[in-house]
Every structure is written in C-alpha cells, then in structure tokens.
Amino acid sequence: MRPLLIIPAIDLADGHCARNILGEPGTEKLYAEMADHPVEVAQLWRRENAKCIHVTDTDSFAGRDDDATLQQVVAMQKSVDIPVEFVTFQAKLDVVRMLLQAGVYRVVVNITAWTDPEGVAELVHSVGSSRVIFGLRSHEATVDLGEGVGMVDDEAYIARVRELGGRRIIYTERDWEGALSGEDMDTVRRVCDAAGSQIKVTMAGGIASPQQLWDLQEHAPKNVDSVVIGRALYENRFPCQRIWRAVEAKLEPEIHAHAQEIQQQSSISDLKKP
C-alpha cells in the first residue's frame, strides 16, 4: 500500500482557529488557549511530525474582511520549517503575490484562473508550479466561482489548470466537508482521470478513520499523493494521536515553564504571556 502524505487543516476566521483540538485530561487549558493562537496550532502539528499544513481563509469565502487572517498565515509560515499552503478566495492576484513575497510557501488560486488566466499563467511561470496550485471546491461536478463567473464544470476547470501550467490541484466535494463520511471513490477516479498523469491531486475532506484513509491509499489512482484532514484529527480519531496527547498532558506544565527558553521553530510559545 503506497503512503499518502497527511496534511492537517487549520481553518482561520478573523485570525483565529475555527476548531479546537480535543486533548487528554490535563491538556484542556493548553488546547482551549491555542484556538486563539494559530501560530501555536501550526507549531503543534509540526511537533507531531506534519510535513505540510493546510490553512483556509474562511473570511474570504464568506465575503468578510480577511486582513487579520492574512497576517496570521504569514506569521504561521514564519513559525514552522515546513510548507504552509493557503487557500483563499481572492478576486485579484495582488494579494496572492503579496503572500508569496511575504514567505508563504504555497497559495491556492481559484477564481483568478477564470478571471485573469494570463496573470495566473505568468505567476506560475515566475514562482513555479509548486508554489501556485489550484483549488476546486465542487458540488455535483461543478465549481462555484462566485459573482461574475458562476458555475464551472470541474473537469473544464481542471483542463484550464493544465493550460495555465498548473501541476497540482486540491479537490474537495462540498458534501464531504466535516461530514466524516469518507470520500466517494467514483468521484476520486473521475477527477484523477481528468487531471491525467501531469497533475498531482490532493484530496480534501471526509476522512474520519484510519480505515477510510487506508481505503483511499489502496484504491485511489496514482496521481493522488496527499490528503487534507481536519475534523478527524482535531477529534483524535487516529490511534497515534492518543500517544501524542498523553505525552502532551504530561509535558504541558513544562511547555509553559520553558516556552521562552525554547527557540526551535517547532516549540510552543508561551500562551500565558499577556
């Protein structure tokens, strides 16, 4: 069974985490405080051996001001030694360029693939296809690109990605998000067939258990190499997490006591500091 890279998800709203990690007894205070400190959540996932972190700007998708969230994702990237991939719904590429220049490793574009294809193609060419990737939040095989564009067939969108020089998509079906229902393999195969061998696919949403993850590893086409998991990780649905949380329960006082002395990127900062 080939391995898939597991990418923890962090949803940001007004610069704060939308989910809070459930901890073992002894860690309740630590995790409750972390929800207001996205940098610490990013550092926690890194300590638990994440190789990439997936951050979503929920404000932009809801049409809200997202300045606080944009500032947080830059701080999060600076705090860890692994790529942060940032999903944001921006109508103009200026914000995307700013984030990349500020150091965010990877930014996911969506609507601009349709409204400014030449600009997106130039950006992919200038910074590389590993730093500019494409997000598809689909429902019934269509992607809603908002006012001015509307609904686009997801396979047509994937064809556009190929035309623009894209080499990776992140795909989710709206019905999977937070549902813990698993991913529909017919949909996974259809999307991967449309992507072809040149485009790598990250699947997102729906995974609730090790068995569902193993099923995806076993049956997904070869161009699927990673999976974004949110709710299931926050609810400790994987056996290894019980070990991590038990260790963190014992270390919590030490983490707080020595936070200012520990300067490694993967340490947890002092949440009690005013």
Domains and CATH numbers, the chain: 5-257 (3.20.20.70)
Distance CA 183, CA 58 (A): 22
pLDDT at residue 239, as a whole number: 86
Q: What is residue 251's predicted lDDT score, i.e. its pLDDT?
A: 76
Angle subtended by helix axes 93-101 and 117-127, to nearest 10: 10
In this predicted structure, the answer to whether residue 36 has a pLDDT above a threshold of 90 is no
The whole-model pTM stands at 0.89
Per-residue burial over 148-181, b = 16 or more CB atoms within 10 Å of its CB, e = otherwise: ebeebebbebbebbbebebbbbbbbbeebeeeee
Instruction: Give the DSSP letter string of 39-73.
Output: HHHHHHHHHTT-S-EEEEEHHHHTT---HHHHHHH
> Which pLDDT does position 57 carry in this prediction?
97
Tokens in use for 229?
Answer: 């998991």
Q: What is the sign of the dihedral through the CA atoms of 46, 48, 50 and 53?
A: negative
Q: Judge whether residue 260 has pLDDT over 70.
A: no
Q: How many CA atoms lie within 13 A of 66 on its CB side?
A: 23
Q: How confident is the model at residue 180 (pLDDT cuts 50, 70, 90)?
A: confident
Kindly report the number of other CB atoms within 10 A of residue 103's CB atom. Answer: 12
Q: Which residues contact 26 (CB under 8 A, 6 or more apart)?
A: 249, 250, 252
Name the least confident of 86-100, 113-127, 139-153.
139-153
Distances (CA, A) of 167 to 21, 196, 214: 32, 10, 25
pLDDT at 265: 43
Which among 132-141, 172-181, 244-253 has the top mean pLDDT? Answer: 132-141
